[in-house]
Amino acid sequence: MTDQPASTANQMWGGRFAAGPDAIMEAINASIGFDQRLHAQDIQGSRAHAAMLAAQGIISTNDADAIREGLLTVLSEIEAGGFPFSTALEDIHMNVESRLKEIIGEPAGRLHTARSRNDQVATDFRLWVRDQCDATIDGLQALIRAALSQAEQGADWVMPGFTHLQTAQPVTWGHHMMAYVEMFGRDLSRMRDARKRMNESPLGAAALAGTGFPIDRHATAQALGFDRPMANSLDAVSDRDFALEFLSSAAICAVHLSRLAEELVIWSSAQFRFVTMSDRFSTGSSIMPQKKNPDAAELIRAKIGRILGAAVALFVVMKGLPLAYSKDMQEDKEQVFDAADNLMLALAAMTGMLSDLTANRDRLEAAAGSGFSTATDLADWLVREAGLPFRDAHHVTGTLVAMAEKDGIDLPELTLDQMQSVNPDITADVFTVLGVHNSVASRTSYGGTAPSQVRAQIARWNDIIASEEWA
């Protein structure tokens, strides 16, 4: 990075300041170290602005053509990695404009007509976050497909369902995977909603009050792919709801990723052995040769801290700001950049893990009947067939569980005589509901774990994926 002297910055600022900034002030004020990531969006917005100025007769066509070609040259220089970013020029906007002036001369000074860095940065940042929403949507779609593939493979594979991490009732592997499909589906919906709301253009709001030049904000909005210009100039330059909403949606998504990562960590342990992680997403130990560590899942689990922290940090930045723009808002970008980077990495890693994951069907089934997982089926049978009130059926079932636990056996291993010693109305028919396969097959209520219901939900999601709304 090449720093230009303070006098260069003074030229950009104009005649208001006679002395150059103190080194500490320059260091705290400069944002080029991170906002250079906005270079493509900054140049995109400037090209749209220049074209509109020419169309409105505010600048000449020749000047607009020179600006357009000069900006393309700047873009190519940045993308080639040889652009001399300067902290003395503070930010991406002034770095681009300064280089543009070196390339095309006087016409560069006309580019900033009828705009301010306030609406410029609001536009650049909004464009960047919108692009990130699109990338996140693509990532979520890939992850949903991976989870759906797991569900299709194991729609009727029985496994224990848990509450409090204690065996509760048998479910199916497909049903468990479809729970995450639903979670990630909501994340997808939130990202799409956030994108829709943010798709308004701040450009043309200028510093805070609009401009007296006869600009066409609808034209620049259309050129940049926005649905419309923002309706209030104060709001346009001071709003960061779009960034807050992206971070909020990202944080919820990260929570879902973390919950699944936690389960993969538990399930891949020697104590569970429910799943086998691929070598591509595992690591070994430097001292214990037998180890296969689920490091990718553990790192995903940790990402929530950074993403949630970014959301909290930006909420704190914005909470006390009066209208319109304040320099505090310079602290918005690093938080969003970091959260976006980590969310995309976590999405890609989880998609890879699920795609490569092997669910151990035999181990899942062996564990499905543990912990008296069909006790609720017994209680339901007593209500349905023996006519007991549920609370009485619950008490009878609890007594039978205690009896089986004392003998070191499971409920289906109790004899009919043992069961009838607790309640004489129990018949041999009760054994038809005590097997785990019978249990899951009976859960046919909408959204239940019965394989028929799981396959119906898989079919619904396949229809969603095939629809125009998915694209």
Say if residues 265 and 294 touch (Cβ distance below 8 Å): yes
Q: CA dihedral in degrees (307, 310, 316, 321; nearest 10)?
A: -130
In 3D space, the residue among 67, 184, 130, 149 whose CA is nearest the CA of residue 353 turns out to be 149
351 is written with which tokens?
């998609």
What six digits make up the tokens of 21? 């900034």
Q: Residues, the chain, total? A: 471
Residue 53 has which token pair?
């100025």
Q: Which secondary structure element, helix H or strand E, spans residue 170, and what is its range?
A: strand 166-172
* Cα dihedral: 373, 377, 378, 384 (round 10): 170
Q: How far apart are CA 375 and CA 412, in angstroms?
A: 10
Q: Give per-residue burial for 157-178: e unless 16+ CB within 10 Å, then b.
A: bbbbbbeeeebbbbbbbbbbbb
- Work out the number of other CB atoms within 10 angstroms of the CB of residue 254: 28
Contacts of 15 (CB under 8 A, 6+ apart): none
Which residue of the set 60, 189, 269, 285 is catalytic? Answer: 285
Please check whether residue 144 is in contact with residue 184, taking contact to mean a CB–CB distance below 8 angstroms: yes
**Among 422, 269, 336, residue whose Cα is nearest residue 131:** 336
Whether 285 is a known active-site residue: answer yes
87 with 3: CB under 8 angstroms?
yes
* Radius of gyration in angstroms for the set of CA atoms belonging to the chain, rounded to a whole number: 31
How many angstroms separate the CA atoms of 461 and 145, rounded? 9
Tell me whether residue 394 is one of the annotated catalytic residues.
no
Q: Give me the residue label for tokens 């580019």.
A: 111
The rounded Cα 79 to chain-centroid distance in angstroms is 27
Q: Which residues of 274-305 are buried (b: 16+ CB within 10 A; e: fewer)?
A: bbbbeeebbeeeeeeeeeeebebbeebbebbe
What is the set of active-site residues?
164, 285
